[in-house]
C-alpha cells in the first residue's frame, strides 16, 4: 500500500461521463435552476460561472443529492442517479466541496479524510495510509493531527479538496474554492486544480467568481443567469457573448 503512488489511485482508469439533462430546482415560485443541461468527462475541467444568485450552488446541491430535483435527470455513465440519496451518489463517484467550508471540525485533519475513505467502502485498516497519501500530496501532512477547525483557513479549503479526492471520486464539484484565499494561496490552488484531473482521473466542475483564474483554468465554461444557461463554450466565446456581458454588467457593475 505504502509503495503505491498517488497517480495510480483510481480503481478504473477508463473515462466516465457525467451528465445533467434539463435539470430544474424550484423553491416555491423561485426558479433557482431552470432547465440546465451539460456534460463533463473525467480528465476535463468545466467552469460554471454566473452572477450572484444565478443558481450555481443550488445546481451542485441538486446534483450531489442534498436537495431533491424538481425535474430533469442526473446521469453518471448513463446510470440515472436523480432519485438516489446523497450518500449513494457520493459512493458512486460524485464528490464536492462547499462554498462555506464544511469540515468535521472536532475531528483531526487526518480523521476528516479517513472518514471519507471509509465512507466510500474502503477498509479502516488502509484508511490512514490512503488518507496520508492525499494529505501529503496536498501539502497538509504536517497538519494531520491538528483539529480541522483549528488550522488556517487556506488549509481548511485544501482539506475539503483532500477529503473529496480521498473518496476516489469520478467527478468533483468545487464551489468557489478560491473564496477567501490570498493571492499566493489562490495561485497554489490554480496549480493544484490543473494537476488534479490527470493525476486523480477525475472530472472537475469548478464554480468561481475569480474570472482571471477561470479564464485561464477552464477550457470550457458554462454560464448561468437566473437559473438558465445563457452561454457555453471556450473562454473567448463566452467573453464575447453579448448576453454574458449584459448579465454581468447588469447585476454586478
Is 91 a binding residue for other proteins by CB under 8 A? The answer is yes
Is 99 a binding residue for Mg ion by CB under 5 A? The answer is yes
CB of 13 to Mg ion, least distance (A): 32
164 binds, among other proteins, ligand ATP, Mg ion, none (CB under 5 to 8 A by kind): other proteins
Binding marks (x or -) toward ligand ATP, 55..94, rule CB under 6 A? xxxx------------------------------------
- Choosing from 70, 73, 99, 120, the residue that interacts with ligand ATP (CB under 6 A) is 99
Is 57 a binding residue for Mg ion by CB under 5 A? The answer is yes
Is 146 a binding residue for other proteins by CB under 8 A? The answer is yes
Distance, C-alpha 91 to centroid of its chain: 15
Query: Could you tell me which of 21, 16, 64, 20 has the C-alpha nearest to residue 43?
Result: 16
CB of 246 to other proteins, least distance (A): 28
Query: How many C-beta atoms surround the C-beta of residue 140 within 10 A?
Result: 23
Query: Could you tell me which of 20, 38, 29, 23 has the C-alpha nearest to residue 70?
Result: 23
Distance, C-alpha 136 to centroid of its chain: 20
Is 103 a binding residue for other proteins by CB under 8 A? The answer is yes
Query: How is residue 229 annotated by DSSP?
Result: E
The kind and range of the H/E element at 57 are helix 56-64
Residue 202 φ/ψ, nearest 5 degrees? -125, 160
SS3 at position 230: strand
The residues of the shown chain that bind other proteins, judged by CB under 8 A, are: 1-2, 57, 61, 64-67, 85-88, 90-91, 95-96, 98-107, 111-112, 114-116, 118-121, 123-129, 132, 142-147, 149, 151-156, 163-164, 167, 180
Amino acid at each position: 500500500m505504502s509503495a503505491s503512488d498517488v497517480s495510480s489511485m483510481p480503481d478504473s482508469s477508463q473515462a466516465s461521463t457525467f451528465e445533467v439533462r434539463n435539470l430544474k430546482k424550484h423553491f416555491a415560485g423561485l426558479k433557482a435552476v431552470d432547465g440546465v443541461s451539460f456534460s463533463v468527462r473525467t480528465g476535463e475541467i468545466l467552469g460554471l460561472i454566473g452572477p450572484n444568485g444565478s443558481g450555481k450552488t443550488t445546481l451542485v446541491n441538486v446534483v450531489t443529492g442534498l436537495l431533491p430535483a424538481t425535474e430533469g435527470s442526473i446521469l453518471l455513465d448513463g446510470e440515472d442517479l436523480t432519485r438516489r440519496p446523497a450518500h449513494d451518489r457520493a459512493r458512486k463517484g460524485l464528490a464536492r466541496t462547499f462554498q462555506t467550508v464544511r469540515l468535521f471540525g472536532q475531528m483531526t485533519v487526518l480523521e476528516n479524510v479517513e472518514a471519507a475513505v471509509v465512507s466510500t467502502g474502503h477498509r479502516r485498516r488502509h484508511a490512514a495510509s490512503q488518507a496520508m497519501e492525499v494529505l501529503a500530496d496536498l501539502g497538509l501532512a504536517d497538519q494531520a493531527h491538528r483539529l480541522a477547525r483549528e488550522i488556517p483557513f487556506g488549509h481548511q479549503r485544501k482539506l475539503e479538496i483532500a477529503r473529496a479526492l480521498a473518496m476516489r471520486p469520478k467527478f468533483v464539484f468545487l464551489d468557489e474554492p478560491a473564496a477567501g484565499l490570498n493571492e499566493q494561496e489562490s495561485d497554489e490552488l490554480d496549480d493544484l486544480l490543473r494537476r488534479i484531473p490527470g493525476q486523480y482521473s477525475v472530472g472537475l466542475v469548478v464554480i468561481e467568481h475569480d474570472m482571471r483564474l477561470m479564464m485561464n483554468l477552464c477550457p470550457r465554461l458554462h454560464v448561468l443567469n437566473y437559473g438558465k444557461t445563457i452561454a457555453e463554450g471556450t473562454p473567448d466565446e463566452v467573453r464575447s457573448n453579448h448576453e454574458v456581458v449584459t448579465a454581468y454588467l447588469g447585476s454586478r457593475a
